Amino acid sequence: MAKRLSVAVIGCGYWGPNLIRNFNSLGDHDMALVCDTDQARLNHMRKLYPQVKTTTRVDDVINDPSIDAVAIATPVRFHYDLARKVLAAGKHTFIEKPMAASVKECEDLIELAEKHKRILMVGHTFLYADHVRKIKEIVASGELGEILYINSRRLNLGLLQKDINVAWDLAPHDIAIILYILGEVPEYVNCEGRAHYAPGIEDVTSMTLSFASGVIAMIQSSWLDPNKVREITFVGKKKMLVYDDIQPSEKIRIYDKRVEAPPHYDTFAEFQYSYHYGDMYAPFIKMSEPLKVECQHFLDCIVENKKPLTDGHNGLEVIRVLEAANKALHKHDLRRKK
């Protein structure tokens, strides 16, 4: 019989309660301990989950020998130090996205997890969504043909962050999805943005990723848009696919549309583009809660000692893109100041 794991969550502000709810719903294991500096938040968690213990001290989590696994859902600036302490204590570690504040920090955490032979997983929740997995299947099947470009928009009004810009806040979702579906990492990253409210913290960014395969991906992120938008378009030579996560149903729509060039022509005057307009269809996809699937996957990886889909190396590649984007932003800032 598999061991019953005991789980702790550090941070119960914005996202932590969702982790607590899902770990608590997995009856084969115990949601045992919640840690946060805000006593009011802990009191609220106790009302929702009377059996769960709470503490304001991280050391209570670190030093508790009964805790097998810890999920970290704090602001990014705390991820590295907390994860280092948790891994050094010999506990399996789940870190919400983004994994850490730099490539160097990610590499250190990966090395530490390997040293202590512990599972290190990053919370790229969309990779556990049925719709994203379906898109990967469709792209891999060749139904869309060769992918020409990808356009992603993740926009809303707020929540403005104090320690990271909008690219670090919103784009990790899009970067993780794009890298997962294409199965490759970009060769080149560029980014432009503006900080309209907090100096040095861009609230609008436009990122470009260029891949060796020839695919170009554009990622627009904003905290200053009137409407909430969660949309990714995949343009192929044969068909086009739109993934709209806001839609309650038909989140994926496939359009039989494309541009066609004549196969043979003798003069430029004979060269004429044509446009193919076919049907649109939305594949039926049975939905499950991605976060619940993700939490279960984390615990399964611990019990079965297997590599997570979103392991430390996966988290590192996303941070590598974000770090490159930040460097590009700073270069553009310098040019404007000249």
Q: So what's the pLDDT on residue 176?
A: 98
> Per-domain residue ranges for the chain?
6-126+291-306, 127-289+322-333
Q: Sheet of 240-244: strands edge to edge?
A: 188-194, 204-210, 216-222, 147-157, 224-236, 240-244, 252-260, 274-281
Q: So what's the pLDDT on residue 332?
A: 58
Q: So what's the pLDDT on residue 270?
A: 53
Integer distance in angstroms from the first to the last C-alpha of the chain?
A: 67
* Residue 275 confidence class, pLDDT cut points 50, 70, 90: confident
Any idea which residue has 């403005």 for tokens? 160
* Residue 220 confidence class, pLDDT cut points 50, 70, 90: very high
Q: So what's the pLDDT on residue 338?
A: 44
In whole angstroms, give the CA distance from residue 169 to residue 325.
13
Q: So what's the pLDDT on residue 260?
A: 77
Q: Which residue type is seen at 282?
A: A
**More confident: 261 or 100:** 100
Q: So what's the pLDDT on residue 175?
A: 98
Specify the pTM: 0.92
Assess whether pLDDT exceeds 70 at residue 337: no
The tens digit of pLDDT for each residue in 69-88 reads 999 999 999 999 999 999 99
CATH number belonging to domain 6-126+291-306: 3.40.50.720
The tens digit of pLDDT for each residue in 41-66 reads 999 999 999 999 999 999 999 999 99
The tens digit of pLDDT for each residue in 111-151 reads 999 999 999 999 999 999 999 999 999 999 999 999 999 99
Q: Could you confirm whether domain 127-289+322-333 is CATH 3.30.360.10? A: yes
Assess whether pLDDT exceeds 90 at residue 265: no
The tens digit of pLDDT for each residue in 283-332 reads 999 889 999 999 999 999 999 999 999 999 999 999 999 999 999 998 75
Q: Which residue type is seen at 247?
A: Q
**More confident: 45 or 262:** 45
Residue 328: CB atoms within 10 Å: 19
- Return mean pLDDT, the chain: 93
* Residue 335 confidence class, pLDDT cut points 50, 70, 90: very low
Q: Sheet of 120-123: strands edge to edge?
A: 53-55, 30-35, 6-10, 69-72, 92-96, 120-123
In whole angstroms, give the CA distance from residue 236 to residue 239.
5
191: which residues sit within 8 A by CB, 6+ positions away? Answer: 167, 205, 206, 207, 208, 324, 325, 326, 328, 329, 332
Q: So what's the pLDDT on residue 333?
A: 53
* Residue 268 confidence class, pLDDT cut points 50, 70, 90: low
